[in-house]
């Protein structure tokens, strides 16, 4: 930046400061209230519980009397890492979930968005059909699919199978995870499609035109022109994919309850902290889940923004 | 097609809205009644069931109480798993004055935390209607009473009389393990499932573990194991799983896909010969039809080790507690006294829903055949246990034992490593 530009900037800044000083008492009060209340709520409802959870994960507590909290050091974490096989099962399921979403569901959503953007025949129908599940919460999706796939559900009924012979969609370890992932993808694909479609609509049409005049194939245009132009949307899609896979809870909870039928980290948090068996092992699970989600996202975003700056 | 789907969706949303509004209504009612003063004012009752039969029974009790005293009672129902999961928060917030709960460790824990109202004076009034064992089951660690029993039910082998008659099997004659294995093999030979089993909920199989452990190793070992005084890695526990494994070929293969009611369906639909469960589901059979209920029968789980015979049974006691933080604890106490008194018991019996009350005043000659059989199962036992998740630490039963049994069903050959893990998780529990 040249020094002339710096000089130029100074008076503008001073003017701004002057302007701020002219705020009346009411203005300040209004601003204080409008900023203060949300800040207070944010701190009280987000930061305080988060910090309290981190603290509690280092304690023994039944969740009832504050006075009963006992310092436990790393005991809860040690217990989880070294004594609790279900933690590793759950971690495996979460990782499979993440890989599935990252490699299959999200790219499928992008592909769909791209096809719909090209206005292939019947695109309006596909758009509504794939978007429909997005308006349902995962809990409702769980209820619907549970109704279809449980032993006395519709699918087994149509197959003419008695309860005892029913295909064990949710119980058989060989494929229950894929059944669940299909259910979750049903919604996730539509969600990604919608986000990406919005992004595609915003890509300047002249870019593509220029690419096709230069003789680029469809795939080359997407890879070299459209995809890079969509960077902000790509970041959102990646972050959403990570968060959705790690925070998965409602779908599993609807189908399996808080039992370990198909263990995932979200359910382990709930199982250990809710109910009669409250122990701060649940808080430790929550912290582990938090770190798992936040570390890749923060490092990814930092890298992206660094690239932007340079 | 699309219109149809979106049409459904609107319905569903409306439904959800309705549910939300209903929830608000209930919350509102709770808040309002929370303000009510005095011993005889309106109070609230929290039911931990939304099932048809028990609801009819409890509403009969509430109506009789209101008719007698003129006190308004707001009836709030919560699905039982959700109720259990929220209990700790519920009792610390604005709970119902009187609520449905269970005897044993689960009650003692919350009494110990100061969340339940001491109702020893209620026991002074109605205690003579109960035998001593029920008073013990209602007593907290401090020697005071916090609970009034509603009813009991035994865990045992349930079957349909008509099915057994067709096959020519006499379940009453199944006395020991060999008899039982023979019967299961015969059922399998007939193309039937020998033993309907479920464990999707994570607790159903605990009843089978309880009875196998008690039969093989005896009451004392079972209680000591659940109390942490014996080790899960003990060879005696391995013996339990060895016997359990012998039963697996005669069970349905989708154990982890069925909850208790799914396994019950197997019996109801005559696909399975036996169903190991608590007798409470008699009400569900009655909902189907009177014939189905009349066809239902129970025998005790067979003897395995002659040293212990059939001397133990899981027979959980359900009942009521008064919450300390309720708006009207005196009202709650007045209600619980009515519920425990023969007058309240009679009101529940009058609804026609089967009940085996803990109250001595219930005329046992009015028992139906199924209830008589339940009584016989009880009478044969010398020791009564509650149930695994009522007899041990809650932070061990639900989050640890439940998933361990489920993983055993996935791979029964991994017994040793599962038991080692159970023991190390017990050892790592927070100190009490």
Question: Has residue A66 been placed in a domain?
Answer: no
The question of ipTM being above 0.85 is answered as no
Chain A interface mutation, best of B91, B254, B422, highest count of A Cβ atoms under 10 Å = B254
Cβ atoms A303, A76 nearer than 8 A: no
Side-chain half-sphere CA neighbours of B24 within 13 A: 5
**Local confidence band at A15 (pLDDT 50, 70, 90 cut-offs):** low
CA B377 to mean position of chain CA atoms: 16
* Whether residues A34 and A94 fall in one domain: no
pLDDT of residue A251: 92
Contact A173 B255 (CB under 8 A): no
* Owning domain of residue A42: 3-56
Residue A73: closest CA among chain B residues belongs to which residue?
B430
Question: Has residue A35 been placed in a domain?
Answer: yes
What is the three-class DSSP state of B275? Answer: strand
Where b means 16+ CB within 10 Å and e means fewer, B378-411 reads: bebbeebbbbbbbbbbbbbbbbbbbbbbbbbbee
What is the CATH classification number for the domain harbouring A88?
A: 1.10.3720.10
Domains B18-153+316-361 and B155-314+375-427 share a fold: yes
Q: In this predicted model, what pLDDT tens digit does every residue of A84-139 receive, in sequence order?
A: 999 999 999 999 999 999 999 999 999 999 899 888 888 888 888 888 888 888 88
**Superfamily covering domain B18-153+316-361:** Periplasmic binding protein-like II (3.40.190.10)
pLDDT of residue A302: 85
Cβ atoms B255, B198 nearer than 8 A: yes
pLDDT of residue A290: 92
Could you give the CA distance from residue B332 to residue B101 in angstroms, rounded to a whole number? 14
* Whether residues A214 and A300 fall in one domain: yes
Cβ atoms B108, B147 nearer than 8 A: no
pLDDT of residue B39: 52
Could you give the CA distance from residue B330 to residue B333 in angstroms, rounded to a whole number? 5
User: Residue A248: CB partners within 8 Å, gap ≥ 6?
Assistant: A94, A97, A138, A184, A264, A266
Q: In this predicted model, what pLDDT tens digit does every residue of A225-267 receive, in sequence order?
A: 888 888 888 888 998 999 889 988 999 999 998 887 899 999 9
* Whether residues A290 and A250 fall in one domain: yes
DSSP one-letter code for B399: I
* Whether residues A48 and A121 fall in one domain: no
Contact B256 A151 (CB under 8 A): no
Count of residues making up chain B: 432
Which among A83, A171, A260 has CB closest to B402?
Answer: A260
Question: Has residue A277 been placed in a domain?
Answer: yes
Contact B201 A257 (CB under 8 A): yes
- CB contacts, 8 Å: B254 with chain A: 151, 163-164, 166, 168, 171-172
Cβ atoms B30, B76 nearer than 8 A: yes
Where b means 16+ CB within 10 Å and e means fewer, B4-27 reads: eeeeeeeeeeeeeeeeeeeeeebe
What is the three-class DSSP state of B388? Answer: helix
> Domain-by-domain residue ranges, chain B?
18-153+316-361, 155-314+375-427
Cβ atoms B388, B206 nearer than 8 A: yes
Q: In this predicted model, what pLDDT tens digit does every residue of A144-171 receive, in sequence order?
A: 999 999 998 999 999 998 888 888 899 8
- CB contacts, 8 Å: B193 with chain A: 164
A68-73 mean pLDDT: 92
Domain count, chain A: 2
pLDDT of residue A16: 52
CATH level 2 (architecture), domain B155-314+375-427: 3-Layer(aba) Sandwich (3.40)
* Whether residues A80 and A50 fall in one domain: no
pTM of the model: 0.85
Return the sign of the alpha-carbon dihedral for residues B40, B42, B48, B51.
Answer: positive
DSSP one-letter code for B341: S
Residue B201: closest CA among chain A residues belongs to which residue?
A259
Average pLDDT over all residues of chain A: 87
**Local confidence band at A21 (pLDDT 50, 70, 90 cut-offs):** low
Contact B424 A75 (CB under 8 A): no
Take residue A114 and report the two structure tokens written for it: 């791209």
How many angstroms away from the CA of A151 is the closest CA of chain B? 7
**Local confidence band at A310 (pLDDT 50, 70, 90 cut-offs):** low
Any CB–CB contact under 8 A between A133 and chain B? Answer: no
A286-304 mean pLDDT: 88
* Whether residues A142 and A271 fall in one domain: yes
pLDDT of residue B44: 95
Chain B interface mutation, best of A64, A79, A176, highest count of B Cβ atoms under 10 Å = A64
Q: In this predicted model, what pLDDT tens digit does every residue of B171-224 receive, in sequence order?
A: 999 999 999 999 999 999 999 999 999 999 999 999 999 999 999 999 999 999
Contact B395 A277 (CB under 8 A): yes
CA distance between the termini of chain A: 15
How many angstroms away from the CA of B378 is the closest CA of chain A? 28
Contact B2 A164 (CB under 8 A): no
* Whether residues A103 and A185 fall in one domain: yes
Give the residue ranges of chain B where pLDDT is below 50: 1-38
Could you give the CA distance from residue B348 to residue A157 in angstroms, rounded to a whole number? 38
- Which residue has 């209620």 as its token pair? B122
């Amino acid at each position: 930046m040249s020094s002339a530009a710096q000089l130029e900037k100074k008076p503008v800044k001073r003017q701004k400061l002057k302007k701020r000083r002219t705020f009346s008492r009411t203005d300040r009060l209004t601003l204080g209230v409008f900023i203060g209340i949300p800040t207070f709520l944010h701190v009280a409802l987000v930061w305080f519980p988060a910090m309290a959870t981190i603290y509690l994960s280092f304690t023994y507590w039944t969740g009832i009397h504050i006075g009963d909290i006992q310092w436990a050091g790393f005991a809860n974490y040690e217990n989880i890492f070294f004594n609790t096989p279900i933690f590793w099962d759950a971690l495996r399921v979460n990782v499979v979930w993440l890989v599935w979403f990252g490699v299959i569901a999200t790219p499928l959503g992008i592909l769909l968005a791209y096809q719909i953007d090209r206005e292939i025949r019947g695109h309006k129908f596909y758009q509504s059909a794939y978007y429909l599940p997005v308006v349902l919460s995962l809990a409702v999706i769980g209820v619907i699919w549970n109704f279809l796939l449980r032993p006395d559900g519709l699918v087994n009924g149509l197959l003419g199978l008695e309860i005892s012979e029913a295909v064990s969609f949710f119980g058989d370890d060989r494929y229950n995870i894929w059944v669940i992932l299909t259910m979750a993808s049903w919604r996730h694909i539509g969600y990604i499609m919608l986000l990406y479609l919005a992004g595609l609509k915003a890509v300047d049409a002249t870019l593509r035109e220029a690419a096709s005049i230069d003789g680029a194939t469809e795939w080359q245009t997407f890879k070299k022109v459209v995809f890079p132009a969509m960077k902000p949307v790509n970041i959102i899609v990646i972050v959403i994919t990570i968060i959705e896979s790690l925070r998965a809870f409602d779908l599993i909870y609807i189908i399996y309850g808080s039992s370990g039928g198909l263990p995932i980290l979200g359910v382990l948090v709930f199982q250990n902290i809710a109910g009669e068996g409250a122990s701060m092992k649940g808080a430790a699970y929550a912290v582990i889940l938090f770190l798992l989600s936040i570390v890749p996202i923060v490092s990814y975003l930092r890298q992206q923004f660094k690239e932007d700056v340079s | 097609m699309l219109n149809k789907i979106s049409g459904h969706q609107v319905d569903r949303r409306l439904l959800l809205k309705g549910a939300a509004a209903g929830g608000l209504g209930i919350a509102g009612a709770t808040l309002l009644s929370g303000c009510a003063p005095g011993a005889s004012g309106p109070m609230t009752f929290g039911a931990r069931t939304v099932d048809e039969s028990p609801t009819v029974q409890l509403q009969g009790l509430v109506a009789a109480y209101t008719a007698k005293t003129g006190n308004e009672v707001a009836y709030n129902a919560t699905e039982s798993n959700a109720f259990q999961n929220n209990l700790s928060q519920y009792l610390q917030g604005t709970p119902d004055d009187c609520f449905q709960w269970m005897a044993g460790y689960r009650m003692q824990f919350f009494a110990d935390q100061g969340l339940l109202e001491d109702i020893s004076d209620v026991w002074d009034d109605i205690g003579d209607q109960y035998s001593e064992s029920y008073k013990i089951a209602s007593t907290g660690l401090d020697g005071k009473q916090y609970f009034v029993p509603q009813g009991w039910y035994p865990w045992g082998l349930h079957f349909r009389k008509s099915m057994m008659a067709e096959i020519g099997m006499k379940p009453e004659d199944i006395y020991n393990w060999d008899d039982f294995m023979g019967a299961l093999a015969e059922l399998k030979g007939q193309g039937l499932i020998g033993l309907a089993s479920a464990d999707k909920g994570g607790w159903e199989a605990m009843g089978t573990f309880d009875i196998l452990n008690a039969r093989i190793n005896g009451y004392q070992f079972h209680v000591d194991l659940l109390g942490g005084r014996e080790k899960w890695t003990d060879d005696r526990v391995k013996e339990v799983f060895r016997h359990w494994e012998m039963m697996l070929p005669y069970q349905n293969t989708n154990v982890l896909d069925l909850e208790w009611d799914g396994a019950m369906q197997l019996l109801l639909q005559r696909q399975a010969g036996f169903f190991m469960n608590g007798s409470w589901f008699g009400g569900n059979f009655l909902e189907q039809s009177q014939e189905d209920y009349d066809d239902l029968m129970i025998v005790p789980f067979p003897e395995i080790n002659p040293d212990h015979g059939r001397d133990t049974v899981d027979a959980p006691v359900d009942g009521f507690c008064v919450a300390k933080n309720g708006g009207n604890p005196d009202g709650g106490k007045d209600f619980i006294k009515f519920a425990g008194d023969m007058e309240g018991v009679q009101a529940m019996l009058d609804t026609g829903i089967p009940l085996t009350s803990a109250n001595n005043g219930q005329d046992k000659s009015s028992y139906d055949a199924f209830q008589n059989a339940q009584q016989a199962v009880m009478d044969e036992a010398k020791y009564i246990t509650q149930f695994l998740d009522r007899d041990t630490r809650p932070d061990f039963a639900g989050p640890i034992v439940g998933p361990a049994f489920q993983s055993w069903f996935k791979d029964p050959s991994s017994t040793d490593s599962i038991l080692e893990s159970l023991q190390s998780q017990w050892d790592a529990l927070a100190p009490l």
